[in-house]
Chains A and B, each alone.
Chain A
Amino acid sequence: MIVELLIKAGLAGFVFFFVLNLAGFHTWVERKQSALIQDRIGANRAPIFGFRMLGMFHGMADVLKMFTKEDIVPDRADKTLHMLAPFFSVFFALVAFAAIPFGPPLVIGERVIDLQVAKIDAALLYVFAMLSLGVYGVILAGFASGNNYAIMGGLRATAQMISYEIALGIALVGVIMIHGTIDLGELVASQGKLLWGWLPMWGIVVQPVAFFIFVTAALAETKRLPFDLPEGESEIIGYFVEYSGMKFGMFFLTDFLETIVVASLATTIFFGGWQVPYLSPDGFHFPWGWEIPVNNLVYVLLGLASFSVKGLIFCFLFMQLRWTLPRFRYDQLMNLGWKGLFPIAVINLVVTAVVLVFLGEPN
């Protein structure tokens, strides 16, 4: 029992460490990537003992700054809720990672360790529940600030997140129907099957339309450009206008965390999670006849690397989209969500169901 707990704690610590560091790293990537896209140099002025490390210390400097800044709570704010809101935001973004399987089962002696912090059989529902609860942080931040602009920002955020969650959920029903499970671990394992003997049955292959809907809606969920109407740091005033210091930093961190959650989800559901093409637990089986045996440790490491690389590519892509697309207008946003993505998702669902009926029950 103790060992089980220790293993779970270790896994949780691993995920926590990795995700938070990645979120910190994101700030650097965001700065440098946008700089390269816009023919600039990017942040490079925070040397430690003369080492600039391509400006990588700016993240640390930012955190130091945020911790030492004055924490201002407006007079008319609800003090308790004002303090709780950023914690809600970060908490729900962080716990969503618990159900994401990030590697194949690791075998140590007799013990089989699932590389997934919480092995929940309704993992997909759990992740979406947590992402939806994240809206509480946002609406509370707007509501508790005692500022009309903030509450307008919070309402925009709520409307946007609730609208896009519907398209997001319906887009995924197709995938669930094909694989017949909402357990993310099983979903990933099921994606290792081959279609016609050579094509890995990744979500993108069997549900390409759902993938595009998912990515669009998921980007809207993260509240980043081109869907950053709730925040609009530079022009329109967002829900965290009354926040300062590290509380503001936590909202910022939530943005990055949500990007990583969404990237992990896109990887898990549509790009086979930790699956490497043609890799089974005992080794590679290429459709053209080659076979390379690998042992369990290599298998697990390859799986971890596969998941990380895919997740990072998604993070990179989301960042690139953020610096490519202009912001939607509010009516365009709602039109896209309700008149664009929602009907397409429903049609996709119906077509998938019909095709599945004609092909016979999968599995």
Chain B
Amino acid sequence: MAVKVVRRPELTFWEKLYLPQIYCGLKITFRHFFKNLFLHLAHRVGRLKGHRAGVTVQYPEELRPLMSRFRSRHRLTQRDDGSPRCVGCMLCETVCPAKCITIVPGEHPDPHVEKFPVRFDINLGVCVYCGYCVEVCPEDAIRMDTGILDVAAYSRDAMKLDIHELMDPKLRKPVERCDLDFPHKCEVHGGDMKGSWPAPETP
């Protein structure tokens, strides 16, 4: 391995004196200070809005533009009739390195489709956002393009999404109908399957 010798330059007399260097530093900080102060004042009266006074983004009000391939919260895509495109092939559940996906497939009434997801649950508290589920899906049924970044909750349970939320990213909290433990065991509550997607009608 070649050795690279870094020569530190000798300090000149004025640099050793330090006072001129303090002046140089103050020049920089004062320049920034007064430039930004002027811009802030101009913004107050509605001028020079094109020039930003700070490089920070005021997050909840202001969002940074996301790249188109950015992996954000998952969603399940829909068919034209609004039912999930997912065919319950279990590929995403199999490939998931964090094992955060749980699918319970059911038999689809349409003989051409074979299966549909009765349940499709993702535990976001475990998810590593690797995007393998999106890549592996043969039906383009799961995508990570909602642009939702602020996945936060007060409990681990609240981090779990069921199929209703995945189908409709606007639903932030677990739907009320879903009162089952996670991973959901398909149980019948008074004839209703809670937290699951209703069986498609026979075409």
Q: Quick one: which of B49-66 are within 8 Å of A by CB?
A: 53-56, 58
> What is the size category of the interface that chain B forms with chain A?
10 to 19
Q: How many angstroms from the CA of A40 to the CA of B39 in the assembled complex?
A: 12
Chain B hits for A320, CB < 8 A: 26, 29-30, 33
List, in ascending order, chain A residues with CB within 8 A of B28's CB: 324
B37 at the interface (CB under 8 A from A): yes
**For residue A41, which residues in chain B have a CB less than 8 angstroms away from its CB?**
53-54, 56, 58
Known interface pairs A38-B32, A39-B32. Does A212 touch B55 (Cβ–Cβ under 8 Å)? no
At the interface, yes or no: B25 with Cβ under 8 Å from chain A? yes
* Nearest chain B CB to A219 CB, angstrom units: 11
- Decide: A323 and B29 in contact? CB cutoff 8 A: yes
Given that A36-B36, A36-B37, A212-B19 are known contacts, is A324 also in contact with B29, CB under 8 Å in the complex?
yes
Residues of B within 8 A of A40 (CB): 54-56
Cβ B33 vs Cβ A324 within 8 A: no
| Distance (whole angstroms) from the CB of A329 to the closest CB of chain B | 13
Given A36-B32, A36-B36, A39-B32: A324 in contact with B58 (beta carbons within 8 A):
no
A320–B30 alpha-carbon span in the complex (Å): 8
Q: How far is B30's CA from A344's CA once the two chains are assembled, in angstroms?
A: 29
Report A-chain residues with C-beta under 8 Å of the C-beta of B40: 36
What CA separation (Å) do A267 and B185 show in the bound complex? 76
Asked whether B54 lies within 8 Å of A33 as measured between CB atoms, the reply is: no
Q: Tell me whether A325 and B22 are in contact (CB under 8 A).
A: yes
The 0/1 profile, CB within 8 Å of B marked 1, for residues 27-42 of chain A is 0000001011111110
A36 to B37 Cα, complex, angstroms: 7
Chain A hits for B25, CB < 8 A: 324-325
- Name the A residues within 8 Å of B30 (CB-CB): 320
Selected from A33, A36, A324, the residue in CB contact (under 8 A) with B26 is: A324
> Smallest CB-CB separation from B44: which chain A residue?
A54
Chain A residue with Cβ nearest B52:
A39
Q: How many Å from the CB of B34 to the closest CB on chain A? A: 8
Contact partners of A37 in chain B: CB under 8 A: 29, 32-33, 36
Tell me, in angstroms, the Cα distance from A39 to B30 when the chains sit together.
Answer: 12
Minimum CB distance partner of B31 in chain A: A37
* A321 is an interface residue with CB less than 8 A from chain B: yes
Cβ of B33 and Cβ of A39 under 8 Å apart? no
A324: chain B residues within 8 A (beta carbon): 22, 25-26, 28-29
Who on chain A is nearest to B25 by CB? Answer: A324
B55-A39 in contact (CB<8A): yes
Give Cα distance in the complex from A38 to B25, angstroms. 13
Q: Is the CB of A36 within 8 A of B58?
A: no
Enumerate chain B residues within 8 angstroms of A323, measured Cβ to Cβ.
29
Q: How far does the alpha carbon of A323 sit from the alpha carbon of B26 in the complex, in Å?
A: 9
CB-based nearest A residue for B23: A324
Chain A residues whose CB sits within 8 angstroms of the CB of B22 once the complex forms: 321, 324-325
Residue-wise, chain A 315-355 has the 8 Å CB interface mask toward B (1 for contact) of: 00000110111000000000000000000000000000000
**In the complex, which residue of chain B has the Cβ closest to the Cβ of A36?**
B36
A33/B33 in contact, CB under 8 A = yes
Bound-state CA distance A325–B58 (Å) is 28
Residues of chain A in range 27-63 having any CB-CB distance to chain B below 8 Å: 33, 35-41
- Which chain A residues lie closer than 8 Å to B36 at the CB level? 36-37, 39
- Interface 0/1 of A292-324, CB less than 8 Å to B: 000000000000000000000000000011011
A33 to B25, CA, bound (A): 15
**Smallest CB gap from B27: residue in A:** A324
What residues of chain A lie closer than 8 Å to B55, measured between beta carbons?
A: 39-40
Q: Which residues of A contact B58 (CB under 8 A)?
A: 41
User: How far, in angstroms, from A321 to B27 measured CA to CA in the complex?
Assistant: 11
In the assembly, what is the distance between CA of A321 and CA of B53, in Å?
21
State the CA gap A40–B59 with chains docked (Å).
13
A-B residue pairs in contact (CB < 8 Å), sample of 10: A35-B54, A36-B33, A39-B32, A39-B54, A41-B56, A212-B19, A321-B22, A324-B22, A324-B25, A324-B29
Q: Which residues of B contact A (CB under 8 A)?
A: 19, 22, 25-26, 28-30, 32-33, 36-37, 40, 53-56, 58
Known pairs A36-B36, A321-B22; list 8 more (Cβ under 8 Å): A36-B32, A39-B36, A41-B56, A320-B26, A320-B30, A323-B29, A324-B29, A325-B22
When A and B form their complex, which 5 residue pairs have the shortest distance between CB atoms, in order from nearest?
A: A36-B36, A324-B25, A41-B54, A324-B29, A37-B29
